[in-house]
Amino acid sequence: MKFAVLVNEGPYTHQASDSAFQFTRAALELGHQVIRVFFYHDGVNNGTRLTTPPQDDRHIPNRWSELAREHELDLVVCVAAAQRRGVVDEEEQKRNGKDANNIADGFRISGLGQLIEAGIQADRLVTFGD
């Protein structure tokens, strides 16, 4: 089965991010295809490399980055939601005259068309969070 995953909530503030990660990992381990994980609304905060949880806590952005590296997973952060929340890659940094970027490894910034495309290509679009 082909899945697309939509994450609407940020790490550490809602169970949705952890649940989306666990679902995606399990689907991949069972041999399913995950076409794309799209991070929208506060979910874009899963894609910042500046997250620094306590040592005894899970590092959610790093988990996503590692999963993407292991499975060549496409992690897409919504550009409009990212701009509102200060999640910036090198291109957006230059385009908006910012002095830094903070996108985590394995994530990329793009538009809502990526979510639509994934929904069309997938057998199921699974949403986590409101």
Q: What are 7-62's pLDDT values in tens digits?
A: 999 999 999 999 999 999 999 999 999 999 999 999 999 999 999 999 999 999 99
| Residue 40 phi, psi (nearest 5) | -130, 165
CATH architecture for residues 2-128: 3-Layer(aba) Sandwich (3.40)
Active site residue 78: yes
Q: What is the pLDDT of residue 58?
A: 95
- What contacts 107, CB < 8 A, 6 or more positions away? 39, 47, 64, 65, 68, 75, 76, 77, 89
Q: What is the pLDDT of residue 88?
A: 97
Tell me which of 77, 78, 82, 125 is the catalytic residue. Answer: 78
Band of the pLDDT at 113, cuts 50, 70, 90?
very high
Q: What is the pLDDT of residue 120?
A: 98
